Structure 1
Amino acid sequence: MNKKGFILAFLFASVMALLIACSDNSNTDEPGNDNDSNNDGEQAEQVLKIANDQEPAGLDPHKTPAHSSVRIYSQVYSGLVQFDADMNVVGDLAVDWDQPDDQTYVFNLREGVKFHNDREMTAEDVKYSFERILDEETASHIASYFSNVDSIEVLGDYQIQFNLKSADATFLSNLTNASAAVVAKEVVEENGDLQQVAVGTGPFVFEEWVPDNRVVLLKNENYYDENLPKLDQVIYYTMKDEAARMSAIRTGEVDLTTVSAQSADLIKDQEGLEVKDYQSLEYSYVGFNNEHEILSNEKVRQALSLATNRESVADIVWGGDAVVSGPVAPSMGDWAIDVTEHELYSNNLEKAKELLAEAGYENGFDITITTASTYADMVDTAQILQQQWAEIGVNAEIKQIEWGEYIDTWVNKTADILVGRNGSGTDPDRALNYFFHTEGSANVWNFSNADYDELVTKGKTTVDLAERKAIYDQAQNDLLTLSPNLFLVSPMKYVAVRDSVEGFTPYPHDGEYILEVTKK
């Protein structure tokens, strides 16, 4: 099975959404106007209509981590390797690879693979793509994933070698990330970047992006796997309001959409619909600006952790369909520690008050929690925190902002406290290094701890599995103690699917795999 790599992301997108009207059937831009079947028994039109909750933030895989973008460009671009259904690393643009030593990887590429502009993809394109990721001017969100790359050598048109500075247990899994895509140099140079264009080698070809409305992808007739994809067209409709998405999936105007736990309960028994669920790799979090006058004090952050009742967040925000989590989500199995055993998860209000007093805030303090108005779970989480922290004298004001402003706030580190969601990824290095190492590409918290940096760097370069686990167990415990973020819960995910859709199975590492989907 050709699986696209798990994507990270989840947190980031731009503020664009449109509640798609359905009353005028003469408007061919609206969902529900294509006939999926006819009375003559002909084969159904292979068009999949998906309702999305956010507008893409851009289409450049090397620069844009927003999930609303990843779900689209992951269908357009390919990388060297990918995960299969069982999370084994398998070839994508690479047929196979050798590892002569711990610091060298040689990839043999598929011959005859073409970009969507009909130019053949070669090793030079792979070299260009990863050098672009590592270029500081690109400001790639995955640059730290590949910071251990010392040099890249083209050995032939279809062979490329990566030379690492040291052994790296994460290198192959990082290559499965959808943002580690191979791009065409001439397209970048012609457009300046890839935010408004998409020319890859993946299973679908970018056709159009109508802002506030839809993104259309077409089947790549020259995809290297001649049996895939099975769909001829995929249309992503932007529908910010969940009520609109619920209405659209109920009436058949769209074929597939993600829904909340509450909405899943409302439609689970409806004829013509199926709700598929899976335990996500996501966790909700509270991010602190570690250079804030008050929040720079570790005891303050610890007090807020002790004042947070995570079980209440799971019950109230997620209807009980979530588990208490640390930075490594429980769905990652043995990599995740039992965070409920950590002292700071004990919801001890007296201890929290003691820590605040020791930090010089015996009477509490005022603070602002920023959250995204477009996500009900984030708003609800902020409101619960506001109530819980008031019990130790913390007066939190909630600031709700639109998604585009939220993204800017995250990038520019301008919030005191930010409520959001992250993805643990498929290797603990992402959860612990990418977000919290001083040089981590997604460390937007102004957090820096030399001992912690040394520990997670050691984890990245340790090949022995048992040793890595021991290192990451310690790193998780240390991170909970340092509390640069508070980690809350990992929710179940729900996808509502029309019964006309066949072959769709969401996975924790890829909830939107559609290459084998067909319409009946």
Structure 2
Amino acid sequence: MNRKTLVLPAVVGLLAPVLAACGGSASGSNSGDAIVVGTTDRFTASKDAPAPFDPAYAYDVGTWNVLRQTVQTLMVQPRGDGQPQPEAAEKCGFSDSGNERYSCTLREGLQFSNGDAITAKDVKFSIDRARAIKADSGVFALLSTIDTVETRGDREVIFHLKSADATFPFKLSTPVAGIVNPNDYEKNKLRDGFSVDGSGPYTVQIEAKDDTVVKAVFTKNPHYTGQLKIKNSKVEMRSFETAAAMGSALEKGDIDLMTRSMTPAQITKLDNASGGNINLNEMPGLEIRYLAFNTNAPSVKSTAVRQAVAQLINRGELVSKVYGSQAEPLYSLVPATITGHSNAFFNRYGDPSLSKAQTLLSKAGIATPVKVTLHYTTDHYGSATAQEFEILKNQLNKSGLFDVRTQGTSWDKFRPAEQKGDYDVYGMGWFPDFPDADNYLAPFLDKDNFLGSPYVNTKINNTLIPDSRREADRLTASKSLNQIQDIVADEVPVLPLWQGKQYIAARDDITGSEWALNSSSTLQLWELGRGVSE
């Protein structure tokens, strides 16, 4: 069993004020049997989430990784990361000095997978639709800096922004900005169920049982026009209930590749093995885990209670006992490898301290022990989550200042309950929409935030986030970004825990697996092939 490590270019967090290029057309495809990919992501349609694959609704890494194969965007994050490049567009760029007007020209001959021509009006329809529906997933907030969308002729789209936004090219590479056909998607209503249609590199056929996806079969789209080079004709994605079942399928040869989420034990076993026919690829990751607080809930409404939790949590112990070398303690919402990161929580709290936590609660007049439940999802971030929350519970209970219990819930029930404010404290993970510090701050703190959090800080929302977006040079933006991180560490609406690496395990006749995930955990199925590498 061989182990390969991929190091991506060190360009994370860097943006250019103008982006313009011409992409190549899709090329190459080796036919043969479908490449079979395993995942533990579960896709369920329910009363609370009836449209999991609608670009105007979907907002988690699993559903996005279905949409990125099928729904085309104007821009795309390139192989190996870096600045976004034109995809459905022939060229894009800011057309003013203030980064408030962004223009794109579509490629000639763009078609949806059914052969319908794509025009600038379809792009406008798609963007305006997501903004108007305002799905409770919060994904529409990625487009919040748009004021109006203008079209000129069949191929030119102009975005007039409310304020400068240097991160806007990245936002146009996310599935919420995906181009959909008005004949398939209603203007003011989500498309229920699992059907997906677009102009991306693949079409998809979904097999579902009891409103849950069993497998998705991606077939090369003959009408695709873009810069991606598709190296296979068909990929099948199978959803497994457990990482153990997925790993067994890989060993038997029932699947060719497995990705999120493998257990720490599986990764360690593959890493230490020698010989065999399975390769483990370790890749830089930008995934983070954190605790979020409903700041209106009586148990944690006091800032002192949240600060005391921050003062007691031992990230080093948590990581070493659960994830080992596969994760690192994180002291900010912004990962250490992103431009603009600061160790705000360590600077504020230092090492874990019982006496300091006691002082915080005593000064605020908080009676102890504080009773609280830590909620987590049992099936979305891997089976190690349960162990992680037991350790968090024990750390807090050991202090005598808290009386904590834990509660695990499946993702299809967990996420709607969290959005409704049913949980006082809950654990979440974040896979970035794009690799910039803004995407680790605004989604949790800005108006219409992803969590539906009641927490509001007017300085962050009205001054610091807008100021940071004016700076195309992200190093220059660091001053505003660091101030945001300091405020978060002081008021603790969220509490960062760790930053993880990411892995893919593939049988040795599969090529391109080292490129199949980028740092934002975007699954790039078009990179996979079978046989000898090019």
Residue 414 of structure 1 aligns with which residue?
422
| TM-score relative to the length of structure 2 | 0.85
CA distance in 1, matches of 2:351, 2:452: 27
Residue 366 of structure 1 aligns with which residue?
371
Q: Secondary structure of the residue that 1:262 maps to in structure 2?
A: helix
Q: Secondary structure of the residue that 1:347 maps to in structure 2?
A: coil
**Contact 2:303–2:492 at 8 Å: present in 1 too?**
yes
Residue 500 of structure 1 aligns with which residue?
509
Residue 357 of structure 1 aligns with which residue?
362
Displacement of 1:127 in angstroms is 0.3
Partner of residue 316 from structure 1, selected from 299, 315, 321: 321
Displacement of 1:157 in angstroms is 0.3
Partner of residue 301 from structure 1, selected from 292, 297, 306: 306
Partner of residue 201 from structure 1, selected from 171, 176, 199: 199
Q: Secondary structure of the residue that 2:290 maps to in structure 1?
A: strand
Residue 185 of structure 2 aligns with which residue?
188
2:437 partner amino acid:
P
**Contact 1:148–1:166 at 8 Å: present in 2 too?**
yes
Residue 36 of structure 2 aligns with which residue?
49
Displacement of 1:193 in angstroms is 1.4
Is the aligned partner of 1:461 residue 2:487?
Answer: no
Displacement of 1:100 in angstroms is 2.4
Q: Secondary structure of the residue that 1:314 maps to in structure 2?
A: helix
2:303 partner amino acid:
E
**Contact 1:82–1:176 at 8 Å: present in 2 too?**
yes
Are the structure 2 counterparts of residues 109 and 373 from structure 1 closer, same or farther at C-alpha, using a change threshold of 3 Å?
same
CA deviation profile, 1:483-518 (whole Å, cap 9, x unmatched):
101100001112111111102223212452221311
CA distance in 2, matches of 1:227, 1:467: 32
Is the aligned partner of 1:261 residue 2:264?
Answer: yes
Q: Which runs of 5+ in 2 are unaligned?
A: 1-29, 45-51
Is the aligned partner of 1:379 residue 2:373?
Answer: no
Is the aligned partner of 1:71 residue 2:58?
Answer: no
Residue 30 of structure 1 aligns with which residue?
none
Higher deviation after alignment, 302-311 or 83-92: 83-92
CA distance in 1, matches of 2:490, 2:136: 30
Are the structure 2 counterparts of residues 515 and 44 from structure 1 closer, same or farther at C-alpha, using a change threshold of 3 Å?
closer
Identity of aligned residues (%): 22
Partner of residue 470 from structure 1, selected from 475, 479, 491: 479
| TM-score relative to the length of structure 1 | 0.87
Is the aligned partner of 1:159 residue 2:160?
Answer: no
Partner of residue 286 from structure 1, selected from 283, 291, 295: 291
Q: Secondary structure of the residue that 2:175 maps to in structure 1?
A: coil
Cα-Cα RMSD: 2.1
Residue 35 of structure 1 aligns with which residue?
none
CA distance in 1, matches of 2:362, 2:135: 45
Is the aligned partner of 1:243 residue 2:251?
Answer: no
Residue 115 of structure 2 aligns with which residue?
118
**Contact 2:164–2:466 at 8 Å: present in 1 too?**
no
Are the structure 2 counterparts of residues 465 and 238 from structure 1 closer, same or farther at C-alpha, using a change threshold of 3 Å?
closer
Residue 130 of structure 2 aligns with which residue?
133
Displacement of 1:168 in angstroms is 1.3
Residue 395 of structure 2 aligns with which residue?
388
**Contact 1:261–1:494 at 8 Å: present in 2 too?**
no
Displacement of 1:226 in angstroms is 8.9
**Contact 1:64–1:141 at 8 Å: present in 2 too?**
no
Q: Which runs of 5+ in 1 are unaligned?
A: 1-42
CA distance in 2, matches of 1:444, 1:346: 31
2:175 partner amino acid:
A
Displacement of 1:345 in angstroms is 4.4
**Contact 1:261–1:493 at 8 Å: present in 2 too?**
no
CA deviation profile, 1:32-66 (whole Å, cap 9, x unmatched):
xxxxxxxxxxx872411111102224211220113
**Contact 1:282–1:422 at 8 Å: present in 2 too?**
yes
CA distance in 2, matches of 1:293, 1:61: 36
Residue 353 of structure 2 aligns with which residue?
348
Q: What does 1:211-230 align with in structure 2 at a 5 Å threshold? A: 211=209, 212=212, 213-225=214-226, 228-230=229-231
**Contact 2:431–2:520 at 8 Å: present in 1 too?**
no
Are the structure 2 counterparts of residues 200 and 189 from structure 1 closer, same or farther at C-alpha, using a change threshold of 3 Å?
same
Displacement of 1:108 in angstroms is 0.5
CA distance in 2, matches of 1:178, 1:493: 21
CA distance in 2, matches of 1:44, 1:94: 28
Displacement of 1:195 in angstroms is 4.0
Is the aligned partner of 1:94 residue 2:89?
Answer: yes
Are the structure 2 counterparts of residues 192 and 63 from structure 1 closer, same or farther at C-alpha, using a change threshold of 3 Å?
closer
Displacement of 1:86 in angstroms is 3.4
**Contact 2:218–2:236 at 8 Å: present in 1 too?**
yes
CA deviation profile, 1:422-472 (whole Å, cap 9, x unmatched):
1244121121111112x1331323211112223223222344544311110
Are the structure 2 counterparts of residues 207 and 106 from structure 1 closer, same or farther at C-alpha, using a change threshold of 3 Å?
same
CA distance in 2, matches of 1:382, 1:282: 18
CA distance in 2, matches of 1:109, 1:192: 26
1:68 partner amino acid:
G
Displacement of 1:225 in angstroms is 4.5
CA distance in 1, matches of 2:404, 2:333: 24
**Contact 2:93–2:104 at 8 Å: present in 1 too?**
yes
CA deviation profile, 1:183-231 (whole Å, cap 9, x unmatched):
1111013985164211100000012332342111111122115983221
Higher deviation after alignment, 51-60 or 107-116: 51-60
Residue 492 of structure 2 aligns with which residue?
483
Displacement of 1:307 in angstroms is 0.5
CA distance in 1, matches of 2:106, 2:528: 27
**Contact 1:307–1:392 at 8 Å: present in 2 too?**
no
Displacement of 1:339 in angstroms is 4.2
